[in-house]
Amino acid sequence: MNIEEFTSSLAEKGITLSPRQLEQFELYYDMLVEWNEKINLTSITEKKEVYLKHFYDSITAAFYVDFNQVNTICDVGAGAGFPSLPIKICFPHLHVTIVDSLNKRITFLEKLSEALQLENTTFCHDRAETFGQRKDVRESYDIVTARAVARLSVLSELCLPLVKKNGLFVALKAASAEEELNAGKKAITTLGGELENIHSFKLPIEESDRNIMVIRKTKNTPKKYPRKPGTPNKSPIEG
């Protein structure tokens, strides 16, 4: 996906990018490739691929969720900043918090945010399990996002405790959404969520399957969740 295709595809969905925003995406790409030589951020480095599989793919969440209506996002396990930072570039008013367990990635994100002059961005070097138990952040975010971090039963335990009541957990997934959903139903309910919608579509150009799961937080999450680091992965809430 070249820059013209990127711009016009987003414009078709009602997202118009200014020259400044396009500049930010260009700088994002340059820094991603530069830092990727020092620390492992992504296996995708070709420009057209990055624009399609990282930038555009991240922003697809905004085709189904209105980010103009919210203020705070937390992105769990964002790695090189996906999906939250491409969304932040498109919707500059957002306050974005990224939680990642690898300090090198946090350093990259801090430098990136500074270079792109992004305001209201916070980067936390922490495990999602311990972050979710912090009283100052628990159940405080309008939207919590995660992109291909773990299967849904595990992700729900890492993300739903951070979502405020009536807020949304938005999971960006490739294929196998139905399977994951069946295995993750118990976790979603236990943690206070309710599936609102699954949006299935194909990524343009390469035509690969994508699914965006939108889960509404309808009840408070029981205090014991998330459990200790590593536990959600070892014994997910399934049944």
Nearest-5° Cα angle at 198, 209 to 191: 125
Q: Tell me how far apart the alpha carbons of residues 21 and 98 are, in angstroms, rounded to a whole number.
A: 20
Q: Is 23 annotated as a binding residue?
A: no
Q: Is 105 annotated as a binding residue?
A: no
Beta strands in 126-192 (DSSP E): 141-147, 163-173
Which residue, chain included where needed, has tokens 């070097």? 125
Under DSSP, is residue 51 helix (H, G, I), strand (E, B) or coil? Answer: helix
- Closest alpha carbon to 31 in 43, 45, 10: 45
- Closest alpha carbon to 88 in 124, 64, 112: 112
* Long-range contacts of residues 1-6, Cβ cutoff 8 Å, at least 24 apart: 1/48, 1/51, 1/52, 1/56, 1/204, 1/205, 2/48, 2/51, 3/51, 5/51, 5/204, 5/205, 6/51, 6/52, 6/55, 6/56
Q: Is 128 annotated as a binding residue?
A: yes
Which residue, chain included where needed, has tokens 């270079």? 115
Q: Is 174 annotated as a binding residue?
A: no
Assigned token pair, 83: 């999906």
Q: Is 82 annotated as a binding residue?
A: yes
- Binding residues for S-adenosyl-L-methionine, by number, are 77, 82, 128-129, 147
- Binding residues, by number, are 77, 82, 128-129, 147
